[in-house]
Structure 1
C-alpha cells in the first residue's frame, strides 16, 4: 500500500471571516476557490507545514489553532487535512503570491458565493458551523 501524503489546508479566520484563495494553476483547477495550503514535507508536522505554506503562498505570519474534524481524499496518495488558523499580531495583509490570482475574505453569509474545489467543500462546511456559531478558534 502506498504511503499517504498529507496536504494541509488553512481555514484562516479573522474577525468572523474565512480567507478563500482562487486558483490560477494548474489549468484544471484555475478559477475555482480553495483553502490555501500545501504538502507536508518529510519530517515536518502538519502544523509547521501550515505555517510555512501560509508564509510562502500569502506572505502572512499565522499559527495553527485546531484540526477541523475529518479528512478528504484528493488524488491518491494525497489526503487533505484542515486546521483553523489565525494571523499573528503584526502579520502583513495576505497577498496572492503563488498559484492564486485573487483572495477574498468571506463571512458566514457569503461563504457559498464562490465556487469551491470539490475536495474543500466538506472542510468548508465544517468551518461554516464555527463561523455561524461565532466561534473563532
Structure 2
C-alpha cells in the first residue's frame, strides 16, 4: 500500500513560532499543532505545504529545510515537517479555532496533538538559533 504524506509547516519569525489550534475532529479539537495537511498523489511536499498553508491560513510561504524526523501516524500515513517563511498575505485561521505566536519557553506547556510532540526538541533548537534580521517581524497574538 502506498504511503500517504502529511506535511506540517513550522512558520518561524524571529524567535517565535506560529501554532494553530485544531477545531476538529472531536478527539483533537482544542489541541495545538503545526498547520499543514495531506499531500495529493504526485504532489511534492513543498507544493502540498504551500497549498495547505494558503488554504488554512491565507498566506503564501517559502518552504525551507526539513525539521526533525518523519513521524509515522500509521502503517500508511507519515508526517513530515518543514521550516517555512511567510511571504504574502495576512494570517487568518480559516481551518482552526485560533492562531498563536509562541517562544521556545512555551513549547512544553502547550497542549499539542500527540504526533507533533515528536518535533518539540527540533522546534526549540530552531527557535533558539540565530535568525537573520530579515526574518524578524512584529506580530500580535
Give me the TM-score of the superposition, normalised by structure 1: 0.90
Residue of structure 1 in register with 2:83 after alignment = 84
Q: What is the deviation of 1:135?
A: 4.4
- Alignment of 1:58 onto 2:54: no
Give the secondary-structure state (helix, strand or coil) at the position aligned to 2:110.
coil
C-alpha separation in 1, matches of 2:61 and 2:120? 19
Unaligned runs of 5+ in 1: none
Q: What RMSD, in angstroms, separates the aligned Cα atoms of the two structures? A: 1.5
Q: Distance in 2 between matches of 1:12 and 1:60?
A: 11
Q: Distance in 1 between matches of 2:58 and 2:5?
A: 22
The aligned runs of 1:1-137 (5 Å cut-off) are: 2-88=1-87, 91-98=88-95, 100-135=96-131
Report the Cα distance in structure 2 between the residues aligned to 1:69 and 1:32, rounded to whole angstroms.
Answer: 21
> Which 5+ residue runs of structure 2 have no aligned equivalent?
136-141
Q: Secondary structure at the match of 2:69?
A: coil
3-state SS, counterpart of residue 90 of structure 2: coil
Cα distance in 1, alignment partners of residues 44 and 98 from structure 2: 28
